[in-house]
A and B are shown apart, each in its own frame.
Chain A
Amino acid sequence: NAGVTQTPKFQVLKTGQSMTLQCAQDMNHNSMYWYRQDPGMGLRLIYYSASEGTTDKGEVPNGYNVSRLNKREFSLRLESAAPSQTSVYFCASSGTGTGGQEQYFGPGTRLTVT
């Protein structure tokens, strides 16, 4: 049981390049999330998927797209990276309903855009 896994762990991009961050969970959770964390700013929600087949914007969606590939996988894509997207990205998943709301985080992807 690996929990939430993310790839890659580190990435350096040049402005304008694109990339996809991968996330997978093996806890049979319905909901998955992408957050970014900047120094001193806590966690900000980019996109989330309440259940397979649905995605919704969070607080800071501009410049990102997501795909809920199946129940296990939720990817985050940067189409044209900008220096402002330099951050640490965390994927998370949670169950739903009574007794199943615990949210668990992956180890993070540290992205630098030059």
Chain B
Amino acid sequence: GENVEQHPSTLSVQEGDSAVIKCTYSDSASNYFPWYKQELGKGPQLIIDIRSNVGEKKDQRIAVTLNKTAKHFSLHITETQPEDSAVYFCAATTTNTGNQFYFGTGTSLTVIP
């Protein structure tokens, strides 16, 4: 089955700096890659996603890039703010596996004011 690895497990940045979180996947059939933000005591919230026919997607201060050849995708947050502090999860899925999602182990991001 699919295996998703996520790095780093913790990340601290100064407010205003950029943050990058990286994930790799093993199944070349995976075709959808979402990113989730989880704040303390809440459920994961979908913040951005990318499909396998696209190399990059942006939404204001966040962007995701996908390299299908190398089987890795990354989340980029620019101009970080204290409210960006949370745990971020990447995931991969393909409709070939009954829509089962495979998650990374999470990155705890702290933005220092």
Partners in one complex: yes
| Interface residue ranges, A against B (CB under 8 Å) | 4, 30-31, 33, 41-43, 45, 48, 50, 54, 56, 58, 90, 94, 96-97, 101-108
Taking a contact as CB atoms closer than 8 A, the residue among B45, B49, B93, B105 that contacts A105 in the complex is B45
Least Cβ distance of B99 to chain A in Å?
Answer: 4
Taking a contact as CB atoms closer than 8 A, the residue among A45, A50, A101 that contacts B32 in the complex is A101
Closest to B97 in A: A50
Taking a contact as CB atoms closer than 8 A, the residue among A45, A50, A104, A106 that contacts B46 in the complex is A104
**Roughly how many angstroms separate A104 CA and B47 CA in the complex, as a whole number?**
10
| Interface residue ranges, B against A (CB under 8 Å) | 32, 34, 36, 42-46, 49, 89, 91, 93, 95, 98-101, 103-106
Given A42-B104, A42-B105, A43-B103: A97 and B44 interface contact (C-beta under 8 Å): no
Least Cβ distance of A58 to chain B in Å?
Answer: 7
**B43: A residues at CB distance < 8 A:** 4, 90, 105-108
Given A41-B105, A42-B105: A50 and B99 interface contact (C-beta under 8 Å): yes
**A94: B residues at CB distance < 8 A:** 99, 101
Taking a contact as CB atoms closer than 8 A, the residue among B44, B91, B99, B104 that contacts A96 in the complex is B99
Q: Is the CB of B104 within 8 A of A103?
A: no
**Roughly how many angstroms separate A105 CA and B99 CA in the complex, as a whole number?**
15
Taking a contact as CB atoms closer than 8 A, the residue among B98, B101, B105 that contacts A103 in the complex is B101
**Roughly how many angstroms separate A105 CA and B42 CA in the complex, as a whole number?**
9
Taking a contact as CB atoms closer than 8 A, the residue among B46, B49, B95, B103 that contacts A42 in the complex is B103
Given A48-B100, A97-B95, A101-B32: A43 and B89 interface contact (C-beta under 8 Å): yes
